[in-house]
Amino acid sequence: MDPRAPAPGSDRLPYRESRMRGSALRSSSSVAADRRPRSDGPPSTEPSVRAAASSATTSEHYMPRPPAGYRPLDFAAEDAPRLTHYLFRFPAKFHPRVVHSLLRSYTEVGQTVLDPFCGSGTLLVAAAAEGRNAIGTDIDPVAAFVSSVKTHRYRSGHLRASWAHLHPVLNLLRRSDEEYDALKFDDISVEAYESIIRDEQLWVPAIPNLAHWFRRYVVVDLARILRSIEDARIPQTHRQFFRLVFSSILRRASNADPVPVSGLEVTAHMKAINDAGRIIDPFDLLSCAVDKALRAVDDYSRIADPSVRSSVLQADATSLRSTLRRRVDAIITSPPYHNAVDYYRRHQLEMFWLRLTETQDDRLALRPKYLGRGSVRKHDPALD
């Protein structure tokens, strides 16, 4: 028997109902007391009014008056021009509209802006469109490469002529549609793979656990594409452009999920897609990417101010005093997402395929210098 239950014949309320009534009585009496006039002053403020007054005080505390010289950001109603912003899928990208607004609000035409964590070069591209000189630095070799290519001033007609020279060569190397269709559930044998690599003397990057990230026939196709780009008789700046486009398709040609920005992984979602039958045609992926990239270069060449300069350095942001040789008027940046986005792991495939690192040991030597990583130690030397 519940000891809190009333005795038989008692007029005492059950415990639960007694608590509820007592609470209601206390609430009503407290409200009544608030409404009664006090002998030593005016009637008290209603609870809701007191709460509003407290909220106003709190708002004033957390929203002080802007300092002198403050200029609010002016986000344009129309979207910022796409330009070359989207040539490469970069994690946690600085939003172009924000960058354009920051440049207009805090810098003047002709000034020089520094981005010490330039990433994929969003600020540098926007600065050229807004008539500002820009310097970008990043410790990540992939980021420095991407930014450098995206901000180069190409002559669109010449670049298209180089593609017209390269495209037929790639078409000769492409497998037939029937062969790609047959490989959507399968792969070439290890013996066939090794024979092709040996007979054609193809270079394959020393990516750890390569078979986990790519099917064997995809590795062969990518190696053939890369060699065609490197052997083509085209200007070096054009070669870099096609290498960038090549790197932009690596995630979609791999077994890794192209969507997550935090790192590099073969997710259950991608395993299900592969098990259901997935056609991976690197040549088609490259052709589509080149077409989009050429249109982006057309826009950038038309809008970018030819009188301004953009320069990119692969450098440590903690030692810029000894790196920079030019005066800057402003620093605008989007710092790396510490303990959230693992840029080092995210760019593993691109770093190897672009030969920005030759061995795993070379790549591992870079890791302690990254601020943005998936996890960090309590004492991080990169922050010293």
CATH number of the CATH domain containing 330: 3.40.50.150
Read out DSSP for 317-367?
GGGGGGT--S--SEE------TTT--HHHHTHHHHHHTTS-SSHHHHHHHG
Residue 103 within a domain? yes
- pLDDT given for residue 122 in this prediction: 93
Same domain, 231 and 270: yes
Same domain, 220 and 236: yes
Same domain, 293 and 319: no
Residue 135 within a domain? yes
* Whether the predicted pLDDT of 35 surpasses 60: no
Same domain, 169 and 243: yes
207 and 357 Cβ atoms separated by less than 8 Å: no
Number of domains in the chain: 2
Strands (E), the chain: 112-115, 133-138, 310-314, 330-331
Structure tokens at 188: 């070439």
Q: Which of 157-171, 202-216, 316-330 has the lowest mean pLDDT?
A: 316-330
Structure tokens at 163: 């593609």
Domain final position from 299, 324, 345? 299
> Residue 270 phi/psi, 5° resolution?
-70, -35
Same domain, 273 and 330: no
Of all helices (H) and strands (E), which one includes residue 236?
helix 236-248
Same domain, 265 and 178: yes
Distance, CA of 305 to CA of 316 (rounded, Å):
28
Tokens 């010490």, residue located: 116
* Whether the predicted pLDDT of 76 surpasses 60: no
Count of alpha carbons within 13 angstroms of residue 124, beta-carbon side: 30
117 and 317 Cβ atoms separated by less than 8 Å: yes
Where residue 363 falls (left for φ over 0; alpha for ψ -120 to 50; beta otherwise) is alpha
Please provide the average confidence, as pLDDT, over all residues in the chain.
Answer: 80
Residue 9 within a domain? no
156 and 147 Cβ atoms separated by less than 8 Å: no
Residue 15 within a domain? no
Residue 28 within a domain? no
Distance, CA of 258 to CA of 292 (rounded, Å):
18
Same domain, 190 and 138: no
Same domain, 130 and 104: yes
Distance, CA of 363 to CA of 92 (rounded, Å):
22
- pLDDT given for residue 346 in this prediction: 83
Same domain, 289 and 186: yes
Domain final position from 274, 299, 324? 299
Structural domain containing residue 145: 73-153+304-335
Q: What is the CA radius of gyration of the chain?
A: 31
Domain final position from 278, 299, 320? 299
* Whether the predicted pLDDT of 30 surpasses 50: no
Q: Which residues, other chains included, contact 281 with Cβ-Cβ below 8 Å and sequence gap of 6+?
A: 174, 175, 180, 221
Residue 105 within a domain? yes
- pLDDT given for residue 370 in this prediction: 76
Same domain, 274 and 182: yes
Residue 16 within a domain? no
Same domain, 309 and 256: no
* Whether the predicted pLDDT of 126 surpasses 70: yes
User: Burial, 340: exposed, middle or buried (Cβ in 10 Å; 0-12, 13-18, 19+)?
Assistant: middle
Instruction: Describe the strand order of the beta sheet including 330-331 as a list of residue ranges.
Output: 310-314, 133-138, 112-115, 330-331
Same domain, 260 and 144: no
Q: Which residues, other chains included, contact 272 with Cβ-Cβ below 8 Å and sequence gap of 6+?
A: none
* Whether the predicted pLDDT of 147 surpasses 60: yes
In terms of Cα–Cα distance, which of 328, 351, 291, 301 is closest to 152?
Answer: 301
Q: How many residues does the chain have?
A: 384
Residue 111 within a domain? yes
In terms of Cα–Cα distance, which of 100, 74, 105 is closest to 85?
Answer: 100
Structure tokens at 64: 């002080």
Average pLDDT over residues 124-146: 94
> Roughly how many angstroms between the first and final C-alpha of the chain, as a whole number?
67
Distance, CA of 64 to CA of 52 (rounded, Å):
18
The string of pLDDT tens digits covering residues 298-346 is: 999 999 999 999 999 998 888 888 778 778 999 999 888 776 677 778 8
